[in-house]
Amino acid sequence: MNELVSQLRHEYSRESLDESSTAAHPAEQFERWFQEALKAELPEPHAMTLATVDANGKPSARIVLLRGGLPDGLMFFSNYLSRKGVELASNPYASLSFFWPELERQIRVEGKVSPVSAGISDEYFAQRPRGSQIGAWASPQSKPIGSRDELTEHEQRFELEFEGRAVARPPHWGGYLLHAEYFEFWQGRMSRLHDRVCYKLEDGRWKKFRIAP
């Protein structure tokens, strides 16, 4: 394995990125790149890695899905009692990253996270497929379970409970908004001399600058 991975190489050569070609506001630049990812028909371009830290400073990361939020930040939904929910309750700062290898691009976003309003969570939950709604009730997310059968039993119980009526949003499930304070737009370049254009929020204004690869 060590020999195998040490020989893996990919030379980035599709495009370049310059400060003068990027938008003045990072949300506009993000939307510009996201539209290009959609046009390229990338698989799940809205998938992003969410990194959080627990009360003892230990990090963890997982993939979540972008569900809106711009220009104020990036929004996602989850179980508030999950590992990520518990960690965000103790340390509300997090980072998000997108990697689109087909475009040789990454986007990193950092900021403080807060729950969205109950109204926003209700509106999004009502749009979810019914199976996903039931699943939000059935899964004690991040908690140990005895078997897959146990999860199936939970699912069947809530299917019966909500039979013939709309599925209400669980009080332990809803949205989060990461209030962006930092964006980095990364474009792969030859010889690992990548382009990295960043935006940092300072005194209510976005400062744009380049950093070394």
SS3 label, residue 173: strand
Cα–Cα dist 40/118, whole Å: 35
CB 173 within 8 A of CB 122: no
**Element at 62 (helix H, strand E):** strand 59-65
CB 110 within 8 A of CB 48: no
Q: How confident is the model at residue 80 (pLDDT cuts 50, 70, 90)?
A: very high
For 30-39, what is each residue's pLDDT tens digit?
Answer: 999 999 999 9
Q: Looking at residue 25, what is its pLDDT?
A: 97
- DSSP 8-state assignment for residue 65: E
Is 90 exceeded by the pLDDT of residue 3? no
Q: Looking at residue 11, what is its pLDDT?
A: 87
- Domains of the chain, earliest start first: 11-127+171-210 (2.30.110.10)
Average pLDDT, the chain: 96
For 164-193, what is each residue's pLDDT tens digit?
Answer: 999 999 999 999 999 999 999 999 999 999
Is 90 exceeded by the pLDDT of residue 65? yes
SS3 label, residue 37: helix
For 99-112, what is each residue's pLDDT tens digit?
Answer: 999 999 999 999 99
Cα–Cα dist 181/112, whole Å: 8
Nearest to 170 by CA among 200, 205, 203, 128: 128
Q: Looking at residue 70, what is its pLDDT?
A: 92
Cα–Cα dist 47/30, whole Å: 14
For 117-127, what is each residue's pLDDT tens digit?
Answer: 999 999 999 99
